[in-house]
Amino acid sequence: MIRDVCQNHLLQALTLLTMERPSSLHDEGIRDAKVAVLKAMPPIKKEDVILGQYTSSKTDPKKKVRLILVSSRPSSNESLN
């Protein structure tokens, strides 16, 4: 649930900050301006994405959390920490 809320808020901020002035300040005018921003964005390509998973660090007690790369361009399952 938290991931969905964070994603939603980021998209709202993106569209509100980058949209053109709406045709009206009514709901439909603002919605149409925000939709125009989303339609203008190019689709995300799979080769431009790196997937990762946060896990607890069992090897270093000072580091409580580390990021494990699930898929990346160089090689998979590398740690960024």
Catalytic residues: 9
74 CB neighbour count, 10 Å cutoff: 7
Provide the CB-side half-sphere exposure for 19 (13 A, CA).
22
- For residues 68 and 81, give the distance between their C-alpha atoms in angstroms, rounded to a whole number: 8
